[in-house]
Amino acid sequence: MTRYGQIVLGPPGAGKTTYCNGMQQYLNAIGRKCLVVNLDPANEYPTTTTSTNNSNANNDQKTNDDDNGLPYDTVVDVATEIISASSVMEELDLGPNGALLYCMQYLDHHFDQVIELINQKLQEDDDDN
């Protein structure tokens, strides 16, 4: 099966999360499968807050088993499955910039594990369908 992808990059506040949420909703609406891989170790949302989409009549969009608080479903989220900037800040007593640099270096040195995790999740998804 041929897979297509988009890489979404930008500075904080540029709308990456909003774009990914909208794109996933659009692709689901037209019957296309959409799997999001979040490689941002600092893209963490509190899971106790309610989504602004709760007024929407179609609330079945949020079906992620490991609720990461993001407004869209992810097949892999490094912040919850591998390394997060907030945990690095606490454990290594680093500020936000130092923690993000540490996380990015960690992901760089362990990218084979990241790819293996993505492939494993994609295989599980293929087996489910």
114, 93, 121: which is closest to 41 by C-alpha?
114
* Model pTM above 0.85: no
99, 100, 38: which is closest to 73 by C-alpha?
38
Q: pLDDT digit string (tens) for 93-109?
A: 999 999 999 999 999 99
Residues in the chain: 129
> Between 62 and 121, where is the model more confident?
121
Which numeric CATH code is attached to 16-128? 3.40.50.300
Compute the distance between CA of residue 113 and CA of residue 107 in angstroms, rounded to an integer.
Answer: 9
| Residue 14, pLDDT above cutoff 80 | yes
| Residue 32, pLDDT above cutoff 50 | yes
User: For residue 56, what pLDDT is reported?
Assistant: 41
